[in-house]
């Protein structure tokens, strides 16, 4: 699997010079006003969830065996002491790739949350203005049920709460392409994330990629 790995970077204005040091093939989706040469430019909507789902849809039939989805600056989320480096990340990824782990969140922590995304920090005064959806709950339950047409459990464990994770192409394709197109429509209905749809999907990556084909539908119209 080491020879068929793709790193997918969701970039805005971050410095991503570090990505070459990972040693894997990569693609950069740039949502800034001055996109990097050779990057794929996207409209700045929907947080990294929009970027990742766009990649999955466009590459669905030719996804890498292992897909590493990363934000433009993932390092604060990898180590609880704030000391993560490219070397730290490279070592973590090498282990996941060697073991062909179907899905793995890269954050140092996991979150247990309810259908309103609680606990969350979207009402903290110090975060006011940081996100369009500040002051609102995260509609985890609503988005879960619109994605899977199943009732969300009372609580779930978010295993990739920072939007940095690895997932195999095989696990991605346990859901049809139409599912991801459905997911993209949900995101595009909340382009500025004022309702926190993107935040909700960030709590649901492990369910999107859990391989439960019983949740798939014949149609997502």
DSSP per residue, the chain: -TTSEEEEEEESS---GGGGGG-SEEEEEE-SSSPPTTSEE--S-SHHHHHHHHHHHHHGGG--SEEEEEESS-GGGT-TTS---HHHHHHHHHHHHHHT-SEEE-SS--EEE-TT--S-STT-GGGTTTSTTTTS---HHHHHHHHHSSPPPS-EEES-TTS-EEEEHHHHTTS-HHHHHHHHHHHHTSTT-TT-HHHHHHTTHHHHTS--GGG--S---
For residue range 57-81, list pLDDT tens digits in order. Answer: 999 999 999 999 999 999 988 876 6
pLDDT digits over 95-111, tens only? 999 999 999 999 888 99
pLDDT tens-digit readout, 163-202: 999 999 999 999 999 999 999 999 999 999 999 999 999 9
């Amino acid at each position: 699997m080491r020879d068929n790995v793709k790193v997918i970077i969701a970039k805005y204005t971050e410095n991503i010079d570090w990505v070459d040091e990972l040693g894997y093939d990569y693609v950069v989706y740039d949502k800034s006003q001055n996109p990097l040469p050779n990057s794929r430019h996207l409209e700045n909507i929907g947080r990294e969830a929009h970027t990742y789902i766009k990649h999955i849809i466009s590459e669905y039939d030719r996804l890498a065996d292992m897909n590493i989805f990363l934000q433009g600056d993932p390092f604060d989320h990898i180590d609880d002491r704030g000391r993560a480096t490219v070397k730290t990340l490279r070592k973590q990824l090498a282990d996941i790739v060697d073991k062909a782990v179907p899905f793995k969140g890269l954050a140092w922590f996991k979150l247990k949350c309810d259908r309103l995304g609680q606990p969350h920090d979207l009402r903290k005064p110090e975060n006011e203005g940081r996100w369009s959806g500040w002051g609102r709950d995260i509609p985890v339950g609503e988005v879960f049920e619109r994605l899977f047409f199943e009732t969300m459990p009372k609580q779930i464990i978010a295993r990739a709460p920072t939007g940095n994770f690895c997932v195999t192409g095989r696990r991605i394709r346990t859901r049809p392409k139409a599912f991801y197109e459905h997911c993209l429509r949900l995101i595009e209905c909340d382009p500025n994330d004022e309702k926190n749809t993107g935040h909700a999907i960030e709590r649901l990556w492990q369910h999107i990629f859990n391989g439960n084909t019983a949740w798939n539908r014949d149609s997502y119209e």
